Amino acid sequence: MIYADNAATTKTCPAAQRAMLDAMERSWANPSSLHSPGQQAKEALQTARETVARAIGAQPREVYFTSGGSEADNQAIISAAKLGARKGKKHLVTTAIEHHAVLHTMDQLSKEGFEVTLLPVDASGIVKAEDVAAAIREDTALVSVMFANNEIGTIQPVAEIGALCREKGVVFHTDAVQAAGHLPIDVDAQNIDMLSLSGHKFHGPRGVGALYVRRGAPLLTLIHGGAQERGLRAGTEDLPAILGMAAALDDSCTHMAENAAYVSKLRDALIDKLSAIPHAALNGDRERRLPGNVSFCFEGIEGESLLLLLDDKGVAASSGSACTSGSLDPSHVLLAIGRPHEVAHGSLRLTLDHENTMEEVDAIAAATIEVVDYLREMSPVWKALQRGERDYVIQ
């Protein structure tokens, strides 16, 4: 099987596996216990916090461990909103292409009386910094713009947005779940106040993540019950997961430049090969995208069938977000870049990493070309397009 769904999750790397096993064997005590095994676990926890902090240019005391990216997003947004509201600020700014962990949190807050501005993106899937600037008001409590998109891979102008939020005194949060370990992050240089990351998107374990909160930025407790994480996130720490995540992040950051160079070559080769399919369009900007992201829409076919047939041919792919697959609604991200419903349904996301090879890229391309042809031959929509009874949306 060729695994090309690294945006959904990644395989735990050997460094993470070793760290986790080691933690289970040696640092399994409760870091809150006063005895020496507890103190040893506490030290290991602190070392992991330092590692995660270093990876994003933060101070260890600004890093809070969570159960993953979703919790980090929830805590960041709910904190900034509710603490903003105490000062009369009840306006939130985000984009139409965020992950549902952000969008659904925003929906919930809007039900609770907050006003949410959803910024559009351009056809290449990038939000304009000037749109963010124009949306900020006196009563804006938070701007939340993702670092890189999980479906179409586009990299957002985070440093520019950070700078203008800083200038206007608005808290800036970024969902960096797809970026951490893959793109350089420096919370100071990029003026980021809050940042979410998740272990399983950079070859660490699942169910663990981190929230960075700049000193002095707003933070509220979502999980009550103990003094862990400076009293802001209760629950006995999952030390094997936290140490595994730290090891994976350290490993990813060490090899970031070489991996990005290698994986983006695979990506570009795959994009070139799939671009040869008639009436196919790349989703998202060709250059400003994650090293491993390839996302296409094919006219006249249906994404689900494409995935199942690719699976039969030994290629594990996705139609977009793992969270929306299974639902009949087309991806909100593809709609936001202007793809009409019928075309958004014919999407394919292939996300590569450093374990993929050029031979696999050739095999993925050959399988995709074959399956798209096969499905089109059976598709009444495709036949109508070919007979000229309908107009192609993708030329």
Ligand X SMILES: *Cc1c(COP(=O)(O)O)cnc(C)c1O
- Tell me how far apart the alpha carbons of residues 128 and 113 are, in angstroms, rounded to a whole number: 27
Spatial contact of 140 and 113, defined as CB atoms under 8 Å apart: no
Question: Applying CB under 6 A, which of residues 201, 214, 332, 376 lies at the interface with ligand X?
Answer: 201
Residue indicated by tokens 């993470």: 16
Distance from C-alpha of 230 to C-alpha of 209, rounded to nearest angstrom: 16
Q: How far is the CB of 283 from ligand X (least distance, A)?
A: 16
Q: Is the dihedral of CA 166, 168, 171, 172 positive or negative?
A: negative
Residues in the interface with ligand X (CB under 6 A) total 14
Tally of CB atoms within 10 A around 70: 21
Q: Which residues of 162-191 are buried (b: 16+ CB within 10 A; e: fewer)?
A: bbbbeeeebbbbbbbbbbbbbbebebeebb
Q: Is 253 a catalytic residue?
A: no
- Exactly one of 27, 198, 228, 259 binds ligand X (CB under 6 A); that residue is 198
CA 274 – CA 315 distance, rounded (Å): 15
Least distance CB 6 / ligand X (angstroms): 10
Active-site position among 165, 253, 297, 323: 323
- Only one of the segments 41-49, 62-70, 79-87, 371-379 lies at the binding site for ligand X (rule: CB under 6 A); that segment is 62-70
Least spacing, CB of residue 118 vs ligand X, in Å? 16
Kindly tell me which of 62 and 73 has the beta carbon lying closer to ligand X. 73
Please report how close the Cβ of residue 95 comes to ligand X at its closest, in angstroms: 12
Near ligand X in 65-104, by CB under 6 A: 68-70, 73, 99, 101
Q: Which stretch binds ligand X (CB under 6 A): 63-71, 240-248, 259-267, 372-380?
A: 63-71
120-179 residues in contact with ligand X (CB under 6 A) are 146, 150, 175, 177-178
Please report how close the Cβ of residue 207 comes to ligand X at its closest, in angstroms. Answer: 7
Q: Which residue is nearest to ligand X (CB)?
A: 69
Pure H helices in the chain = 14-26, 36-56, 69-85, 100-111, 129-135, 158-168, 239-254, 256-275, 303-312, 332-336, 341-344, 358-378, 380-386
What is the closest distance, in whole angstroms, from the C-beta atom of residue 155 to ligand X in the complex?
Answer: 12
CB proximity list for 197: less than 8 A, separation 6 or greater: 52, 56, 69, 72, 176, 177, 180, 181, 209, 210, 212, 249
Nearer Cβ to ligand X (69/284): 69
> Which residue, 71 or 299, has its beta carbon nearer to ligand X?
71
Q: CB-wise, 294 or 365, nearer to ligand X?
A: 294
Is residue 260 within 8 Å of 291, Cβ to Cβ?
A: yes
Which span (32-40, 64-72, 214-222, 225-233) binds ligand X, by CB under 6 A?
A: 64-72
Rule CB under 6 A: which of 225-284 touch ligand X?
none
x/- mask, ligand X, residues 291-320, rule CB under 6 A, reads ------------------------------
- The smaller minimum CB distance to ligand X, of residues 99 and 349, is found at 99
- Cβ-based nearer residue to ligand X, 73 or 251: 73
Interface with ligand X by CB under 6 A: which residues?
68-70, 73, 99, 101, 146, 150, 175, 177-178, 198, 201, 209
Residues marked active site are found at: 323
